[in-house]
Chain A
Amino acid sequence: MTFSAVVVGSGVAGAIVAKELGVRGFRVLVLEAGLESPMDDAGFGSHVRSHLTAPVRGPNSPFPRNPNAPHPMPSDLAGENGYLVQRGPMPFSSVYTRYLGGTTLQWLGTSLRMLPSDLRLRSLYGRGVDWPLAYEDLAPFYAQAEGELGVAADAEEQTYLGVSFPDGYAYPMEPVPPSYSDALVAAGLEGMRFHIGGEVLPVQVTSTAQARNTRPNPRRDPGSAAPSSDPWARERCEGYASCVPICPVQAKYSALRTLRRAPPDRVEILTRSVASRLQMDPGTGRVTGVVCKRYHSPSSPEHTVEVVGGTLVVLAAGAIENAKLLLASGLANSSDQVGRNLMDHPFPMSWGLLRERAGTFRGPGSTSGIETLRDGSFRRERAAFRVELSNWGWELPTGAPQSDLRALVDGEGLFGRELRRALFDRVQRQLRFGFVVEQEPCASNRVTLDPAFRDALGEPRPVIAYDLSEYVRAGIATARRFSKQAFARLGAEDCTTYAPDDPRHFLHEGAGYSWCGSGHSMGTHRMGRSARDSVVDADQRSWDHPNLYLVGAGSFPTAGTANPTLTLAALAFRSVERMVRDLAGDGA
């Protein structure tokens, strides 16, 4: 059996490619290394229960460990004991998910467009590189991606810093209602200006575009894109306050929705199928086969080896796994850029206590942000950032509210009414800002392989060297300065502390800072205008192998400050156009 395309990975990029090619009549095989993720109530409910009964709830707690397709865990921060082999000097701190549906199973759902300036960082500010694409090239595919993901937002409100929409553009879903604390922060910061270098930037709170079902937007032409799933079929956001890692009613988009829309007679999905190597014909440079290890049970490494072939081979396994597979195969790397320029959005946080109740732990994790600090000439010297306003108090930095209970009982010795009232007061007033900080590409931040480190199936584990450049550190320090000013304006007591023994802790101009990962692995097979210094072209096609596509955030030349999913989904739609041209006459 040969296929028009073999797609490795079933996250949002792979799902879009598979579904779109299937809809256009091509036969597609999807290889997913991980286990199935059932969408039915019973099957999905088992993920929910795994999460609710986990000793420590985190992004991968609904998805039990699978030694045959391991994924990083938040605790894998140092050394060689986790899935990622951390070579430092700082730990790469983001996770991803190897299950059917990929990391969209546990993402937050933020669906922002990148700014036009994000794609021209070199031309405008002399940093990083330019993309081989302009915003205008991406805009129609952003619209397709917003349709596929069912994004909830208001186009007028999302029109800022050069982001533009065609007249009358309507998102598929009405905006997610802002939280009570969003309104408190917006009112408190009204009129605030923030100085960076010589620039004075306005501070404005905006409702965040997010792939979360609300009500279908009545202003949208129903024929304009793929239908959003039925919001009344228990898939509408009801405020479970658990988007990361799992929405019990699947109100948040996951790639499972796109896979469900794929025509089953043309798109075949194989789970428990780990792509191990790519085979290439040295004469033509074409990738001729994917060597695949198929296992039955996650508890045994027993497997069979099969080789599958397709006219096109599409790697869509995420930035780190794509790089791993290319390095293991010794392919697509004439530029020596495969695995390099690994980026994340370092995510420092500031947290404080308001004077008043904020209504914490209600609704989606974040419903609003501050987007006005994402661009400016300050980007010559320091990273830009967007501000994410948390609806869940200090959950991420301190483990609230459970950690508050422990502190009040064990630390302060409270019980009874006093405990109950103190807990209410302490948690209700929690305020937390998170900063999605732009990371510039650095060749030395990279994924490599070392034969000494393998998983249960004998596949290489990613070895990662990672650091934050001075540019990023200066951006993190600026974000911290912003939060101090904003907290003062809001009358909030700053409670932020950064543990000096955290491997991510660093000093900048005498002050200490720390940060987390955002889960945004990017850059390891960057796109560009030339085979000399990039891995793929603007269509995400390998310069070295004409039938090999590498899709996903690994193609991003720079990171900008938008959470990457919407952009990588748009790029996938764009690449499909080129794939269809490549496949002309391939039996559709």
Chain B
Amino acid sequence: MTASPSPGLEGFLGLSGALTGFSADFLAASAVARTFADAFHHRTPAGIAERMLAVWEEIVRQHPGGPAAVEEAVRARIWRDEALGPYARSLVKLWYLGAWHDPGPTPSAPPLSADAYAEGLIWPAIGAGAQGARAPGLGDWGTPPPREPLGDEPP
């Protein structure tokens, strides 16, 4: 349905990549990228998602091609920002766990769907298939584990 990401999704994927540690291209291939973008917009208080994306666009403009500098800027202007930081954490959990967690000490939340669970980044991050949803085949578990997380990092 979405052959190429809309401009809005592109920004969302770039921001998500910087926060999750996976490349935007890897995230774009997720079956639930648009579902997560929608959840991010709908579950955050009015203006938060737009503001976080605007800050992200600004960071990209100011630090072309400098991943370390981008990371530092994201840390300072989003992750540690009093208003944005808590929702950036929610966004990371959304991508990793497939579930929306409101900021604060909330109990474990249910995944948005079975697909959202299965596409959670936690699985490639730990070098395994989604428990109960992805299988590598008989005996795969006897082979040496991967040397690093699956999926690309941001460039």
Residues of A within 8 A of B (CB): 48-49, 51-56, 177-180, 183, 214-215, 236-242, 246, 248-249, 357-364, 367, 391-392, 399, 401-402, 405-406, 409-410, 413, 415-421, 423-424, 427-428
Contact = CB atoms under 8 A, between A and B. Distances in A.
B71 interface: yes
B133 interface: yes
A177 B142 CA distance: 7
Contacts of A417: 21, 71, 153-154
Contact of A238 (B89, B125, B136): B136
Main secondary structure of the interface of B (DSSP, over half): loop
26 contacts: A52-B114, A52-B118, A53-B117, A56-B108, A177-B138, A178-B142, A179-B141, A238-B137, A239-B135, A240-B134, A359-B143, A359-B145, A361-B123, A361-B128, A405-B97, A409-B92, A409-B93, A410-B89, A415-B18, A415-B88, A415-B92, A417-B154, A419-B21, A420-B21, A424-B127, A428-B127
B13 interface: no
Contacts of A427: 126
B109 interface: yes
B20 A420 contact: yes
A241 B129 contact: yes
Given A180-B143, A361-B123, A416-B71, 10 more contacts: A48-B132, A53-B110, A240-B133, A248-B132, A359-B143, A409-B89, A415-B19, A416-B18, A417-B153, A419-B21
Contacts of A49: 114
B62 interface: no
Contact of B138 (A238, A242, A359, A421): A238
B82 interface: no
Contact of A53 (B113, B136, B143, B147): B113
A418 B21 contact: yes
Contact of A358 (B108, B122, B145): B145
Contacts of A56: 108
Counting contact residues on chain B (CB < 8 A from A), the size range is 35 or more
A416 B132 contact: no
Contacts of B109: 55
A415 B76 CA distance: 12
Given A179-B142, A363-B141, A424-B127, A402 B122 contact: yes
A415 B129 contact: no
Contacts of B92: 409, 415, 419
Interface of B: 18-22, 71, 74-75, 79, 88-89, 92-93, 96-97, 99, 107-111, 113-114, 117-118, 121-123, 125-129, 131-145, 147-149, 153-154
B125 A424 contact: yes
Nearest to B111: A53
A415 B121 CA distance: 13
Contacts of B75: 415
- Closest 10 A-B residue pairs measured CB to CB? A363-B141, A420-B21, A242-B132, A359-B145, A238-B135, A361-B128, A362-B141, A177-B139, A55-B110, A427-B126
Contacts of B22: 420
Contacts of B97: 402, 405
A361 B92 CA distance: 21
B93 A406 contact: yes
Nearest to A236: B138
Contacts of B20: 415-416, 419-420
Contact of B19 (A362, A406, A416, A424): A416
Nearest to A215: B138
B71 A180 contact: no
A363 B142 CA distance: 8
B131 A239 contact: no
Q: Taking each of B93, B138, B144, which has the highest tally of chain A beta carbons within 10 Å of its own beta carbon?
A: B138
Contact of B117 (A52, A359, A405, A409): A52
Contacts of B131: 240-242, 361, 392
A367 B141 CA distance: 10
A312 B113 CA distance: 47
A238 B130 CA distance: 13
A523 B138 CA distance: 37
B134 to A, nearest CB: 7
Nearest to B151: A420
A362 B129 contact: yes
Nearest to A249: B135
Contact of B142 (A183, A401, A418): A183
B36 to A, nearest CB: 15
Contacts of A183: 142
A391 B134 CA distance: 16
A126 to B, nearest CB: 43
B79 A52 contact: no
A48 B117 CA distance: 12
Contacts of A423: 122, 125-126, 149
Contacts of A215: 138
Nearest to B22: A420
B79 to A, nearest CB: 6
Contacts of B140: 239, 362-363
Contacts of A402: 97, 108, 122
Nearest to A419: B21
Given A361-B131, A362-B129, A391 B141 contact: yes
Contacts of A416: 18-21, 71, 74, 154
B24 to A, nearest CB: 12
Contacts of B18: 415-416
Contacts of B79: 413, 415
B110 A401 contact: no
A292 B74 CA distance: 65
A426 to B, nearest CB: 9
A416 B73 CA distance: 12
A237 B118 CA distance: 19
A428 B145 contact: yes
Q: Taking each of A246, A391, A401, which has the highest tally of chain B beta carbons within 10 Å of its own beta carbon?
A: A401
A52 B118 CA distance: 8
Nearest to B90: A409
A410 B127 CA distance: 22
A52 B153 CA distance: 27
Contacts of B143: 180, 359
Contact of A420 (B89, B108, B149): B149
A51 B96 contact: no
B144 A180 contact: yes
A391 B20 CA distance: 26
